Structure 1
Amino acid sequence: MKSRENRPYAGYRRLTVGLGVLSFVLLISACSEPTQQYETPKALCGVEVPTDVLDPLLPEGEVVSERSEAASGVKRCYVSVDDKVALSTSIEWYEAETPIAEIASKTIGVDPGDKVTPDKRYSYSGKGGAGLIRCEDSSTIDKDVDGDLYATVRVGGDSVDASVALKMVQAYTTAVPAAGDCEVDL
């Protein structure tokens, strides 16, 4: 039988263990809270992209911003989180029938050996990819242009799952015509 002299220490021990467990639970819950304090953009420089497709490609942070540049038939968009480029896209003209692997080879961080979809419209990897843009309204394209319009997506920072990058390349590529970017003078 236990003596009564040890009872105060048993209560103290339970209190100490209880406080330790509570501290651990609070620490774990604080660490697991997402630190993404910005709202995921609904468009990238005017090209609408579903937020559920874009969100997995953007890092945690406080502020998201975008900047676009257009020159010599190329339109670029840079999406930054806390002033660090997290994603970049481009819309640009290439000679007609240029293989998608060649387009990929000209995109920083994308490799000509990347995966290509069976229809050969998209090239992709964990760092991004390229896609052939299909403009429905050919009247918006100058008749003197003998080329194809391509979109590229490049993920900044660490690689992501290639299937996630492919979803982004497909979403961006198919959204370009609706944004009015099927024009010669980007």
Structure 2
Amino acid sequence: MRHKTYILRGVSAVVAAAAVFAAAGCSADEPRREFTVPKALCGVSVPVDALSRLLPASGKKLTTEADGSTDDVLLCKINVDDVMVLALSRERIVAGDSARHILYTQLRITQPKFAEGTSIAYADDAAVSLLKCRGADVQNEDISTLVKVLKPARSDESAMKSLITDYTAKVKKQGPCKKRSSY
């Protein structure tokens, strides 16, 4: 009986050791992420965890580029190893469009999910939000934000929802609605 116990323990130890070496061998061969996930996109802080889940699982160098002005039109691009993997655009638009309509006309996404009522429409690889600027002292306009994940980045519906919701809330806190000019 004792002999069988030692054999079973020995087999268990060999199996455990083989599993450790196999796991170590696999992870050494797989490419890994060497870049740092940014805490902000074009001057607006973002949830790092959500952005991390959308970015590629591997890569050496991450860069961000901003084109346009922060007032009217802004394009923020994230590149990993010189390949654009995520684009975020923000612009002032004529009041009255919907997040769903923008997501459909820009990216042909037909069945998005919604957050914040219907002011945010999202899918696993894209999202749109609308901030409505209304009131006696502001111009009657909307601010649209569109986020699109491009390959080799990863699609993740919950991460996209978190990213667009948090980003939109931070933009709103900045008070982006333009004051009405007095003529």
TM-score, normalised by the number of residues in structure 1: 0.72
- What CA distance in whole angstroms lies between the structure 2 residues aligned with 1:42 and 1:54? 9
- Note the 1:51-90 alignment, pairs <5 A: 51-59=48-56, 60-70=58-68, 73-90=72-89
Report which stretch shifted further, 52-61 or 157-166. 157-166
The alignment-based identity, stated in percent, is: 27
- Aligned to 1:90, what secondary structure does the other structure show? strand
Residue among 149, 157, 166 paired with 2:161: 166
- What CA distance in whole angstroms lies between the structure 1 residues aligned with 2:178 and 2:63? 25
Residue among 31, 34, 38 paired with 2:35: 38
- Please say if residues 110 and 128 of structure 1, whose CA atoms lie closer than 8 Å, have aligned partners that are also in contact: no
- What CA distance in whole angstroms lies between the structure 2 residues aligned with 1:43 and 1:165? 15
Give 1:131 deviation, angstroms: 0.8
User: Which residue in 1 is equivalent to 2:3?
Assistant: none
* Inter-CA distance 61–183: structure 2 relative to 1 (3 Å threshold): farther
* Inter-CA distance 53–159: structure 2 relative to 1 (3 Å threshold): closer
- Please say if residues 133 and 140 of structure 2, whose CA atoms lie closer than 8 Å, have aligned partners that are also in contact: no
Give 1:53 deviation, angstroms: 1.8
- Aligned to 2:164, what secondary structure does the other structure show? helix
* Inter-CA distance 27–159: structure 2 relative to 1 (3 Å threshold): closer
- What CA distance in whole angstroms lies between the structure 2 residues aligned with 1:70 and 1:183? 17
- Please say if residues 40 and 54 of structure 1, whose CA atoms lie closer than 8 Å, have aligned partners that are also in contact: yes
Report which stretch shifted further, 51-60 or 92-101. 92-101
User: Which residue in 2 is equivalent to 1:151?
Assistant: 145
Give 1:149 deviation, angstroms: 0.8
Give 1:168 deviation, angstroms: 1.0
- What CA distance in whole angstroms lies between the structure 2 residues aligned with 1:94 and 1:119? 20
User: Which residue in 2 is equivalent to 1:3?
Assistant: none
* Inter-CA distance 85–98: structure 2 relative to 1 (3 Å threshold): same
* Unpaired runs of at least 5, structure 1: 1-16
Give 1:173 deviation, angstroms: 1.2
* Inter-CA distance 26–105: structure 2 relative to 1 (3 Å threshold): closer
- What CA distance in whole angstroms lies between the structure 1 residues aligned with 2:74 and 2:119? 20
Give 1:97 deviation, angstroms: 2.4
- What CA distance in whole angstroms lies between the structure 2 residues aligned with 1:135 and 1:177? 10
Q: Deviations over 1:22-47 (max 9, x none)?
A: 75354134246x71111110111111
* Unpaired runs of at least 5, structure 2: 1-13
Aligned residues: 162
- What CA distance in whole angstroms lies between the structure 1 residues aligned with 2:45 and 2:175? 11
